[in-house]
Chains A and B, each alone.
Chain A
Amino acid sequence: MIPQAGTASQHSPLRFLDPAVLSRIGSLELVARTVVEGFISGLHRSPFLGFSVDFAQYRQYIEGDDIRQIDWKVFARSDRHYVKQYEGETSTNVYLLLDISGSMAYRSDSVTKMDYARYLTASLAYFAQRQRDRAGLTTFAAGLVDKLPPRCRREHLLSLLHLIDKARAESATAFGKPLRALAETIRRRGIVVLVSDLYAPTGEILESIRQFRFQGNDVIVIQILDPQEQRFDFSDSVQMVDMETRRRLVMDPALVRADYLARLESHQQEIRNLCGALGVDFMVLDTSQPLDRALYRYISTRQKSM
């Protein structure tokens, strides 16, 4: 069951999910904690749900927990509310795949796609750690850049956040080689979250996703786009420089706009269709949107995987 979300108004806790606000926070850990705790406090119910026969630990009841999970015997003994947690809820591996190719450095406003992807990945890692999932991280561009296997410990989260923090957008994008290398190392199925602008041939992208899917993983594909990439409303003649290939093109945006938008839409539609066929969640986020949509989708997938 997916909890209901509040709106990211000025006085809502979800305002902390606004990327523009987050960009002013220096520490990535703090960003992740702000996002996740703000997200959780905005929910009517706790997202940490699950049922398993393997008891793991007691945890103090927090507002929003289902009262059915309260251990009344413990309450009778200690006059305090505790809920039981089970092994099944914390045993999922979360593989976060972060695209750090050159195109991710684009921004038309205060937040680059890279920053947005960084906040999102950090938040997902924090969220996973919060519910005792094992989170791992792989950064890639033209090849595999960094890799951290899934772990559940607090120190691991810090390492993971550090890795996210030091990631810098570079070179071109290639999905095939780095993701194939990652797929070969996955021994236990889990949730694979791919965060990228997906500026690569659809065949290459889907070939990689298909591998993860065949291994029994749940896959979430999150495409990060800048609002300007979706509008393409430059007003005057420009010389455009490709941030990955440095290719230059003089054009009049008004003349190419319709064609550009059609081709982008076609690219997204193709990915959406094939993801649908593979049972993969596909979502498009733009950098002006709060991060909660991605967290909802993650929770949803997380529940499905249990």
Chain B
Amino acid sequence: MFRDAWLIAGKDLRIEMRSRVGLNQIVPFAVTVLVLFAFALDTDQEALRTYAPGLFWVTVLLAALLAIGRSFAVDLADGAADRLLLSGIDPISVFGGKAAAIAVQLVVLEVLLGAGVVLLFDVTVHRYGLLVCAGLAAAAGVATAGTLYGALVAGLGVRETLLPLLLLPVVAPVLIGATRAFQDAFGVAGAEGWAWLGLLAGFAAIYGVFGAFSYGALLEEA
């Protein structure tokens, strides 16, 4: 099972590295959103620092929609989705592999955007451990839920517009939890960051298990 998941993740990441869509389109998109937030609020540096965690995670979620959509688009482009069904690879492995590949892309995006937030919004990190753990847990949560909903809409002609509509409300707990954890890590609010980290980890675990066991049925319908 892990061998097949690794195979799928490796394939997806290799495609992303080759196509450079992530580097040339998704990252610039995310940076642009962040810069626009900075322009909108730049008269009030204190507000920028206060809202930096929320702005950071809204930007990550918007960019994640592109990464998730692309993960399924490459399989649908020339019939590879059918081949995956015919390959005999367990759907749990396909789910795990695709979620892992998306999570890796999100972590890279978070690192780049994190640097952007520190530079543009003038924030200081007080708790690095909390910041890293919250970043990883949130990436896992968005990736697992995103993979599940990505498969749900993959076979539909309106998937590009339907995915945000379905996924964004679902990942609202991640947005809230990750924002609170980052507020604590940045020292801009008295939130109990480690408790919020528990929510993020729980969300990722629930969607990981739920996704793994329902993914096969979703692929059949896609």
A and B physically associate? no
